[in-house]
Amino acid sequence: MSGERVAVGIVGAGPAGLLLSHLLHLAGIDSVVLENRSREDVEGTIRAGVLEQGTVDLLTEAGVGSRLHREASFHRGVYLRFAGATHHIDMQELTGGKRVTVYAQHEVIKDLVAARLAAGGDIRFGVSDVALEAIETGRPALRFTSGGEPRRIECDFIAGCDGSHGVSRHSLPAGTLQRYERIYPFGWFGVLVEAPPSSDELIYASHDRGFALVSTRSPTLQRMYLQCDPGDDVADWSDDRIWAEFRVRLETRDGWAPIEGPITQKVIVGMRSLVHEPMRHGRLFLAGDAAHVVPPTGAKGLNLAVADVRLLARALASFYRTKDESLLARYSDDCLRRIWKGQRFSWWLTTLLHRSDSDTAFDRRRQLAELDYITSSRAAMTSLAENYVGLPFE
């Protein structure tokens, strides 16, 4: 078995793991990233689309924003649609210039992988059996299998950036983590559509039949979502049924209809809110979906992951510069303050826009009154806007 040594061992080549590795590199700290999927798979998985202003600024400052600035769509705000009418929320104006950036997660990943590899970074794709060892000691290690060979890498620290189904969180002794969870009785049916954009900005629609969202990916490819039953089978949703549902849920009194086209991908995602506390145990630090998950409505998951690794990179850089552990000691508390605000916002927007079987006619009237309030009160609109474009990092 080979024995290697690196400063920081990172599990997971998602946005959290790759950005952490890049930020550490900028601070002169070496790392290895272990990923159990192939590079093609990681770079091809369709997930998030909306980046907060702070995420865009951080990627730009870190030197990985040039393609984003060329290819992303920059929007002033979003549309809220309900009761047959559309209301624009001008977030740029309401937040003093912050914009909504639509740039797919897998494009962020491609940019980060390219930057790491160009700088000689060490990303091991397609490894298996990753296991964390001795995280309560000063010499933690990662064991894994690569090319059929068992490997072991000793580290100073391990970052668990392996998403909600990863191995890192489960390496902690039982009872170490407090789990806070809410599961929603609905899911999202996501489609990719070969068509030009139906709208110049995203449309969040609340209809008696449920939520619908019009997003985009490029001038020729659109991303749209429908609230569905999380137990639904993709096979039960024909293209005709999907379009009929979009037409109804997105209808306006002036006859708006989405531009239709061939549907090239269908996926169902469940929705939950989940936080594990604390985000550190010994020499293991959790970041991103490995520690917390939000329902996608507020477009916060990737952005929260980015905020976590920004703090983790800063705390590690401070440790290697001065041997001062105070930022590492504060890491979990500092992250969780912002994470809980992201959780609150994601829960609030989700319950505002979706229909639940247990909702009464009263609940629907209350939702519509709240939507009316948000779209007519500058104070309410500003609250929505500042959360959507991203609360300040500190």
Q: Which positions touch ligand DHB (CB under 6 A)?
A: 48-50, 202, 213, 215, 223, 296-297, 299
| Distance between CA atoms of residues 214 and 222, nearest Å | 8
What, of ligand FAD, ligand DHB, none, does residue 316 touch, CB below 5 to 8 Å by kind?
Answer: none
Structure token pair of residue 351: 């319950």
d(CA 173, CA 113): 32
- Taking the complex as a whole, the smallest distance from the CB of residue 368 to ligand DHB amounts, in Å, to 21
Number of residues that bind ligand FAD (CB under 6 A): 36
Instruction: Decide which of ligand DHB, ligand FAD, none touches 187; Cβ closer than 5 to 8 Å per partner kind.
Output: none
The CB-of-225 to ligand DHB minimum distance in angstroms stands at: 7
Contact between 296 and ligand FAD by CB under 6 A: the answer reads yes
Which residue type does 320 have?
A: Y
Does position 289 bind ligand FAD by CB under 6 A?
Answer: yes
Judged by CB under 6 A, the stretch of 28-36, 92-100, 233-241, 355-363 that binds ligand FAD is 28-36
Residues designated catalytic:
75, 204, 296, 300, 388
Q: Read off the tokens for 51.
A: 């980046």
Whole-number minimum distance, CB 71 to ligand DHB, in Å?
14
CB nearer ligand DHB, residue 123 or residue 193: 193
DSSP string spanning 303-363? HHHHHHHHHHHHHHHHHHHH---HHHHHHHHHHHHHHHHHHHHHHHHHHHH---TT--HHH
Give 128 or 322: the residue with its C-beta nearer to ligand FAD. Answer: 128
Q: What are phi and psi of 90, to 5 degrees?
A: -85, 85
Q: Cis before residue 278, ω within 30 degrees of 0? A: yes
Report the alpha-carbon angle 249-254-255, nearest 5. 55
Selection from ligand DHB, ligand FAD, none that 297 binds (CB < 5 to 8 A by kind) is: ligand DHB
How big is the CA angle at 391 (ends 386 and 394), to the nearest 5 degrees? 150
Looking at 8, 11, 64, 352, which residue binds ligand FAD (CB under 6 A)? 11
* Residue partners of 386: CB distance under 8 A and separation at least 6: 94, 95, 98
**Assigned token pair, 12:** 């997971």
Closest CA to 138 of 334, 327, 325: 325
Joined together, the tokens standing for residue 154 give 């000793």
| Chain position carrying tokens 């049916």 | 189
CB of 369 to ligand DHB, least distance (A): 23
Q: What part of residues 269-288 is at the interface with ligand FAD (CB under 6 A)?
A: 269, 288
Nearer to ligand DHB, 35 or 201 (CB): 201
Question: Which entry of ligand DHB, ligand FAD, none binds 121, CB below 5 to 8 A by partner kind?
Answer: none
Residues forming contacts to ligand FAD in the complex (CB under 6 A) are: 11-17, 34-37, 42, 47-50, 105, 130, 161-163, 166-167, 188, 190, 269, 288-290, 296, 299-303, 305
